[in-house]
Amino acid sequence: MKEVQEVKYLILRPLGYPLKASYHEYPVVDNPRVFERYARDQWKGEYVSKGKMLFDYRMFPDFAFEVVSAEPEGIITDSTRILVESPKSVVETEIVKDVKIEDVVGQEEAKKKVRVILKYLQNPEKFGKWAPKNVLFYGPPGTGKTMTAKALANEANVPFISVKSTKLIGEHVGDGARRIHELYERARQVAPCIVFLDEFDSIALDRSYQDLRGDVSEVVNALLTELDGIEKNEGICTIAATNRIELIDPSIRSRFEEEIEFTLPSLEERLKILENNFRDFPLKVRANLKVIAEITEGFSGRDLVEKVIKSALHKAIAEEREYIGTEDLVKAVERVKKPVKQPPKQMFI
């Protein structure tokens, strides 16, 4: 008989009451730590799995929460960390289970460097003041920055808390700082964990490129406070990702102890990406993948998957064919082939 495990992390989504009546609105979870204690006290011993509903039976009887994720599935205990998704939150929390560092094709230097982050997340106390707390991933789009960050969270068995940096900019004064506070308050609640800031250049743009608007400045100032560690952020690794590192403001860039580059795949790496993605393909494949790898120089891994393989697959399905061949993939490449940049013509006076 399989042993029932204790749930380490539980993520809930508020659903509401079963019937629409004269109930007042369920209050916002203002203090996550207090709610966590309240939730554990009433649901301790409850078996939970993804999709199950939990009902509050104390302060707000019959109010329902849905289990978004339980890692692992099992029973709630005194040590279970409980998170509640806010309907208006820009922060996403997930327990990653489907990707490992070895799944990232190429990027050998980057993968070697992120092993230090992995060791830190597995044992934060060991590093002390030498912890890799703020790391900057940079390189062309689609080269595996997000995938690597998720793989780290998976292998370290810690929550992955992510947000697109553009969503940190609020409509009103104070919104941006509040969202940063929410982001790191959640991170402190479940540390060790990874905080992933995607599209980082949208808020960290060098002031020589544009005037720093007030709303962006507010976000940056709040973020710098967190990165500088004025609040104790033991066990939290912030990973920011950008496609344009040269545009990052030097004062912000200096807060990152490590910069890790992600590069476009080589010929051999493009071939491996193609082979990996054709392993569980819904149609038969009659294609020379080496030819496709050779004509896709300058393509990222995402380009190969989304613009070449998927495009060819959809066209073949639309034509009711049972296979795709070399010609299908070549035509897909030709439709999205990136033009070679020509040097600007010199002008003579």
Boundary-marking domain end, from 241, 261, 281: 261
- 240 and 120 both lie in a single domain: yes
- 75 and 124 both lie in a single domain: no
What are the helix (H) ranges across 87-213? 108-122, 124-127, 145-156, 175-190
- 213 and 175 both lie in a single domain: yes
Q: Which residue range is the domain that position 57 belongs to? A: 5-85
Q: 175 exposed, middle or buried (CB, 10 Å; 0-12, 13-18, 19+)? A: middle
Q: Which helix (H) or strand (E) holds 215?
A: helix 214-227
- 251 and 106 both lie in a single domain: yes
**What pTM value is reported for the model?**
0.81
Amino acid (one-letter) located at 335: R
Q: Give residue 172's pLDDT.
A: 59
Q: How far apart are CA 339 and CA 341, in angstroms?
A: 6
CATH at residue 77: 3.10.330.10
**CA angle in degrees (0–180, nearest 5) for 70-75-80:** 65
- 231 and 112 both lie in a single domain: yes
For residue 9, count other CB atoms closer than 10 A to its CB.
Answer: 20
Q: 283 exposed, middle or buried (CB, 10 Å; 0-12, 13-18, 19+)? A: middle
- 29 and 51 both lie in a single domain: yes
List the one residue out of 257, 259, 167, 267 whose CA is nearest residue 215: 167
Q: Per-residue confidence of the chain (349 residues) as pLDDT tens digits?
A: 568 899 999 999 888 888 765 555 666 777 788 889 999 999 999 999 999 999 998 888 888 999 998 988 999 999 999 988 876 677 788 888 889 999 999 999 999 999 999 999 998 888 887 888 999 999 999 999 999 999 999 999 999 999 988 888 766 566 778 888 888 888 888 889 999 999 998 888 776 655 555 567 778 888 888 888 755 678 899 999 999 998 888 888 999 999 999 999 999 999 999 999 998 889 999 999 999 999 999 999 999 999 999 999 999 999 999 999 999 999 999 988 755 444 444 443 3
The residue to which tokens 């609105």 are assigned: 25
- 299 and 220 both lie in a single domain: no
The residue to which tokens 């011993």 are assigned: 45
Q: What's the domain count of the chain?
A: 3
**CA angle in degrees (0–180, nearest 5) for 139-140-144:** 75
CA dihedral 149, 155, 157, 160 (to 10 degrees): 10
The residue to which tokens 């062309």 are assigned: 140
CATH at residue 229: 3.40.50.300
- Chain-centroid distance of CA 267 in Å reads 27
Tell me if residue 3 falls in helix, strand or coil: coil
In a domain, 144, yes or no: yes
List the one residue out of 130, 118, 142, 126 whose CA is nearest residue 239: 118
Six-digit token string for 59: 């302060």
Q: What is the DSSP letter of 307?
A: I
State the average pLDDT for the chain. Answer: 86
Structure confidence by residue, pLDDT tens digits, 273-295: 999 999 888 999 999 999 999 99
In a domain, 168, yes or no: yes
Boundary-marking domain end, from 36, 57, 85: 85
